[in-house]
């Protein structure tokens, strides 16, 4: 793929689950090797959007352009069964050719690639343990290596920072940033709190109300831009170096969602 | 159809159905279909052992049912639930094969024990079944609330002060009790289908737990009564009708549940 | 070969025709069951595996009635039941459990009817015992070639879907993101399972087939850390238990004169012992690894 070509481009995408329209008109474009955060409150449709990009759910309208070849994917809150006889190393190897029928004899080249991935994500220490017995952060690293081992041009991560403590959050964010450069992959990761990501992201896609705005963080996270997106007045404040979005306008469904999300926002009486 | 010797069958089947409906509700809630299958079938060698030792077969069944509860409970700690049921079932039946082989004279009654025999019930057996059905229902009523909470989330139940491990044992015990009494009537192979089919269909008719339990008992009664009537008319084994009607109940529940879910979406 | 026949009373063991057939067919069934059983236990489908075996018994009963080769009865019924379970498209674990139970109940009901008809229409008695409990020493040598073909088909199917099945067992979403055809794989696995259990049910009885399918795989999963070693261990346990069980059953003719103990009993007991042993090893291992970091903490 040439530089400057889109890693993923969405044009007026609409997705309906059952009878509920989750995404009404989502358009954005992600260039190769860009590091992008998909921000939105709980229930704003982040997971739906990622699953639509992956082709898991059909799109009612609009189009999604994807790069040729593999797409890396790390699902949300995956719980790996400790009863499975799969070491971290085996899970990464399955990222190489897990979808192929038939078996294959072990090969040196493959073992080398797996070892490289283990080193890249810092998983060498627990490479020989069953994945199901690893901690959440360790499993995340293994799944990240599983997603990257085929060197995809696009990596999708669904809430990779949820349920991590502050230290591990910073570690994973730094790791993702570094891997994005190292592997030349565009990264789209969803999160409900943008603060740990603001220092490192190239772009933000902000999802609300079934629509999205995208651009550089300072372009998007602004009072007038987000107010237009939400359809009522919101304030973007910077408090102690953190960005908070405050709902102060008319009470609507999406405002309730904004208020329910304590990490994302504080409410003003 | 309602002559004196059939009267016992009607009464016993009714008692068994009430107990099976109550327990079936929890079998469905706790995803314990395999245990509900493994406990009665695993108890069946108990009858062979009892006949070898010359005691009432009911005690053999009950004894093996209790053994099953202990074995499944113990094996569950080591690994997966369904593996525990499978291993207990295989061990019990292997023992049963051994007992059958050693006694030799028992082979004729195997069919009756596996698939049920309504005509062989005497008054004493009826009294035993009545007693144990009553006990089952009473036990269910006693542990119903913590058991339901535990089925929803064992953490919630623990937080409320219930002991999850103890509840599982009590549940398996009730299951064993209710299935052991039903074995001579419906047969070891088909007791569990009386628990699974009606109770899973009941979920489609109501969202309230206790009403669902009542509906399960109702469907159970309808199933057994129809099965007996059909068996009487056709002279085919009652187990066949129990299995087929239970499957029909389940299919009806799935269809109705499907339309309900669609209606809610619309 | 003949010289072996003179080695004490175990000499006759190797030269006995039924024993040779039992060793071959039992070994084959154990091999196939261990391989297919591993993915079955990993996917939490032990109940489905058992249900297919029991339901295939209805096919066995039907074959007496129709006068066809029992193999086709067992296979046809197991494949039909597997088809129903896959066709109903149930992904939620609770619903799958119930559906399995219902199919099992209906299948056993059908078996009851067919066995009854066997007795009344065809005057075949004792079919219930043969179908459910089987006996390895009464396997006719004529079914060995057919059994081998079925075994090869099940093994081939398992090898074909080995990797994508592992990924979709780990997570369906991961498999789909990699482009694996999840539904196709699940269907192929269900058919391999049907082949394996009907082969086992036909040769060693519906009950023993459950033990062969679940036991060795579950024991191997307790201790193995990688797929290949789990596979090897499961096969090893299955074969050792089967052949050991046959040898013990042969010996048992000398314990209770005139009456041998059933093979099924010994095989199941050996498998259960292997499982308990594996659990103990796993518990000891996890116990020792749990104490290690604690001692590390005290140094800080």
For B75-121, what is each residue's pLDDT tens digit? 887 778 889 999 999 898 888 888 877 766 555 567 777 777 767 67
pLDDT tens per residue, chain C (300 residues)?
445 555 555 556 667 777 888 888 889 899 999 999 999 999 888 999 999 988 888 888 888 788 777 778 888 999 999 988 887 766 666 688 888 888 998 988 888 888 888 877 777 666 666 666 666 777 777 778 888 898 999 999 999 999 999 998 988 888 988 888 888 999 999 999 999 998 888 777 877 788 999 999 999 999 998 899 999 999 999 999 999 998 998 888 777 766 778 888 899 999 999 999 999 998 888 776 544 443 334 333
- Least trusted range by pLDDT, from A197-211, B61-75, C254-268: C254-268
Confidence tier at A115 by pLDDT (50, 70, 90): very high
Query: What is the DSSP code (8-state) at residue C179?
Result: T
Residues B205, C29: Cα–Cα separation, whole Å: 44
What's residue A118's pLDDT? 93
Q: Find, in chain B, the residue whose alpha carbon is nearest to that of A16.
A: B265
Asked if the structure places residue B200 within a domain, the reply is no
Asked if the structure places residue B257 within a domain, the reply is no
Asked if the structure places residue B28 within a domain, the reply is yes
Q: Does B34 touch chain C (CB under 8 A)?
A: yes
Asked if the structure places residue A239 within a domain, the reply is no
* Number of domain units in chain B: 1
Each residue's pLDDT tens digit, A163-172:
777 888 888 8
Each residue's pLDDT tens digit, B189-199:
778 888 889 99
Complex prediction ipTM: 0.87
* Number of domain units in chain A: 1
CATH number at residue B109: 1.10.3470.10
Confidence tier at A254 by pLDDT (50, 70, 90): low
Q: What are C66's two structure tokens?
A: 């129709």
* Residue B80 structural domain: 4-188
Q: Do residues C48 and C56 lie in contact, with contact meaning Cβ atoms separated by under 8 Å?
A: no
What's residue A261's pLDDT? 55
Asked if the structure places residue B260 within a domain, the reply is no
The DSSP H or E segment spanning C234 is helix C227-251
Q: Find, in chain C, the residue whose alpha carbon is nearest to that of A149.
A: C178
Q: What are B14's two structure tokens?
A: 């009714």
- Least trusted range by pLDDT, from A236-240, A265-269, C234-238: A265-269
Q: Quick check: helix, strand or coil at residue A69?
A: coil
Asked if the structure places residue A95 within a domain, the reply is yes
Asked if the structure places residue B21 within a domain, the reply is yes
Q: What are the backbone dihedrals phi and psi of residue A150, each rounded to the nearest 5 degrees, phi first? A: -90, 10
- Least trusted range by pLDDT, from A204-213, A226-235, B1-10, B198-207: B1-10
CATH number at residue A185: 3.40.50.300
Please tell me which chains touch A, using 3 or more CB pairs under 8 Å as the contact test: B, C
Q: Do residues C82 and C25 lie in contact, with contact meaning Cβ atoms separated by under 8 Å?
A: no
Confidence tier at B177 by pLDDT (50, 70, 90): confident
* Residue C203 structural domain: 2-285
Asked if the structure places residue C290 within a domain, the reply is no
What's residue B262's pLDDT? 41
Q: Which residues in chain C have Cβ-Cβ distances shorter than 8 Å to B242?
A: 105, 109
Q: Do residues A26 and A61 lie in contact, with contact meaning Cβ atoms separated by under 8 Å?
A: no
What's residue C65's pLDDT? 82
* Residue A142 structural domain: 6-221
Q: Does B101 touch chain C (CB under 8 A)?
A: yes
Residues C116, C65: Cα–Cα separation, whole Å: 10
Helix runs in chain B, H state only: 4-29, 33-53, 57-78, 81-103, 110-115, 123-152, 154-159, 164-186, 191-202, 209-234, 238-265
Distances (CA, A) of C234 to C204, C225, C226: 18, 13, 12
- The C-alpha torsion from A172 through A174 and A178 to A181, rounded to 10°, is 100
How many CB atoms are located within 10 Å of the residue C184 CB? 12
Residues A155, A192: Cα–Cα separation, whole Å: 18
CATH number at residue C170: 1.10.3470.10
Q: Does B258 touch chain C (CB under 8 A)?
A: no
Asked if the structure places residue A114 within a domain, the reply is yes
Q: Do residues B205 and B212 lie in contact, with contact meaning Cβ atoms separated by under 8 Å?
A: yes
CB contact under 8 A, C171 and A54: no
How many angstroms away from the CA of C114 is the closest CA of chain B? 9
Rg (CA), chain B: 18
* Number of domain units in chain C: 1
Q: Does A70 touch chain C (CB under 8 A)?
A: yes
- Closest alpha carbon to A245 in A253, A255, A254, A235: A235
CB contact under 8 A, B265 and A18: yes
Asked if the structure places residue C298 within a domain, the reply is no
Residues C24, C40: Cα–Cα separation, whole Å: 24
Asked if the structure places residue A89 within a domain, the reply is yes
Asked if the structure places residue B177 within a domain, the reply is yes
Q: Which residues in chain B have Cβ-Cβ distances shorter than 8 Å to A83?
A: 79-80
């Amino acid at each position: 793929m040439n530089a400057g070509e889109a890693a993923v481009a969405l044009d007026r995408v609409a997705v309906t689950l059952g009878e509920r329209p989750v995404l009404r008109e989502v358009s954005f474009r992600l260039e190769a090797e860009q590091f992008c955060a998909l921000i939105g409150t709980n229930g704003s449709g982040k997971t739906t959007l990622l699953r639509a990009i992956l082709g898991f759910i059909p799109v009612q309208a609009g189009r999604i352009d994807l790069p040729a070849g593999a797409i890396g994917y790390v699902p949300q809150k995956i719980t790996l069964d400790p009863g499975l006889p799969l070491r971290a190393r085996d899970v990464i190897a399955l990222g190489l050719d897990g979808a192929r029928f038939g078996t294959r004899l072990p090969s040196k080249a493959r073992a080398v690639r797996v070892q490289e991935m283990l080193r890249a994500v810092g998983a060498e220490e627990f490479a020989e343990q069953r994945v199901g017995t690893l901690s959440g952060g360790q499993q995340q690293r293994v799944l990240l290596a599983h997603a990257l081992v085929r060197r995809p041009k696009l990596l999708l991560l669904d809430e990779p920072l949820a349920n991590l403590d502050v230290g591990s959050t910073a570690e994973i964010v730094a790791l993702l940033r570094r891997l994005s450069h190292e592997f030349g992959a565009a990264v789209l990761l969803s999160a409900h709190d943008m603060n740990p990501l603001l220092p490192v992201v190239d772009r933000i896609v902000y999802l609300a109300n079934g629509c999205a705005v995208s651009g550089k963080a300072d372009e998007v996270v602004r009072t007038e831009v987000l107010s237009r997106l939400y359809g009522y007045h919101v304030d973007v404040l910077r408090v102690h170096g953190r960005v908070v979005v405050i709902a102060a306008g008319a009470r609507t469904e999406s405002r309730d969602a904004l208020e329910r999300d304590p990490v994302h926002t504080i409410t003003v009486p | 159809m309602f002559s004196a010797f059939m009267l016992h069958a009607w009464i016993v089947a009714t008692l068994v159905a009430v107990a099976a409906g109550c327990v079936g509700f929890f079998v469905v809630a706790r995803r314990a279909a395999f245990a509900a299958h493994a406990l009665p079938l695993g108890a069946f060698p108990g009858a062979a052992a009892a006949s070898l030792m010359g005691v009432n077969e009911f005690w053999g069944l009950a004894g093996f049912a209790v053994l099953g509860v202990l074995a499944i409970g113990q094996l569950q700690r080591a690994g997966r639930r369904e593996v525990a049921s499978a291993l207990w079932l295989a061990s019990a039946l292997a023992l049963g094969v051994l007992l059958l082989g050693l006694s030799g004279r028992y082979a004729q009654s195997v069919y009756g024990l596996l698939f049920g025999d309504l005509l062989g019930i005497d008054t004493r057996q009826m009294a035993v079944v009545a007693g144990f059905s009553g006990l089952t229902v009473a036990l269910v009523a006693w542990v119903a609330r913590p058991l339901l909470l535990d089925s929803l989330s064992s953490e919630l139940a623990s937080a409320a002060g219930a002991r999850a491990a103890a509840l599982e044992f009590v549940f398996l015990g009730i299951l064993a009790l209710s299935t052991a009494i039903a074995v001579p009537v419906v047969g070891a192979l088909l007791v569990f289908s009386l628990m699974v089919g009606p109770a899973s269909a009941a979920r489609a008719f109501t969202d309230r737990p206790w009403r669902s339990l009542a509906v399960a008992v109702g469907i159970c009664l309808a199933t057994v009564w129809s099965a007996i009537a059909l068996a009487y008319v056709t002279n085919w084994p009652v187990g066949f009708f129990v299995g087929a009607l239970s499957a029909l109940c389940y299919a009806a529940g799935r269809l109705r549940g499907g339309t309900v879910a669609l209606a809610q979406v619309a | 070969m003949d010289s072996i026949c003179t080695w004490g009373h175990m000499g006759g063991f190797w030269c006995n025709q039924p024993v040779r057939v039992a060793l071959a067919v039992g070994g084959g069934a154990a091999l196939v069951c261990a391989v297919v059983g591993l993915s079955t236990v990993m996917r939490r489908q032990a109940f489905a595996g058992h249900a297919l075996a029991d339901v295939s018994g209805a096919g066995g009963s039907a074959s007496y009635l129709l006068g066809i080769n029992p193999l086709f009865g067992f296979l046809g019924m197991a494949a039909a039941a597997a088809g129903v379970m896959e066709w109903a498209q149930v992904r939620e674990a609770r619903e799958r459990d119930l559906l399995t139970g219902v199919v099992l109940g209906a299948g056993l009901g059908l078996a009851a009817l067919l066995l009854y008809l066997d007795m009344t229409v065809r005057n075949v008695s004792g079919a219930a015992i043969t179908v459910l409990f089987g006996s390895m020493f009464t396997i006719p040598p004529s079914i060995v070639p057919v059994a081998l073909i079925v075994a090869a088909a099940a093994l081939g199917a398992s090898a074909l879907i080995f990797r994508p099945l592992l990924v979709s067992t780990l997570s369906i979403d991961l498999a789909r993101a990699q482009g694996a055809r999840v539904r196709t794989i699940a269907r192929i696995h269900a058919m391999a399972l049907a082949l394996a259990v009907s082969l086992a049910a036909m040769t060693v009885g519906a009950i023993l087939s459950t033990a062969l399918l679940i036991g060795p795989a579950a024991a191997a999963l307790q201790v193995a850390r990688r797929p290949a070693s789990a596979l090897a261990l499961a096969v090893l346990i299955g074969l050792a238990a089967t052949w050991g069980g046959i040898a013990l059953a042969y010996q048992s003719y000398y314990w209770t004169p005139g009456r041998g103990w059933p093979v099924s009993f010994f095989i199941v007991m050996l498998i259960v012992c292997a499982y308990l042993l594996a659990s103990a090893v796993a518990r000891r291992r996890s116990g020792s690894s749990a104490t290690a970091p604690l001692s590390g903490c005290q140094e800080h």
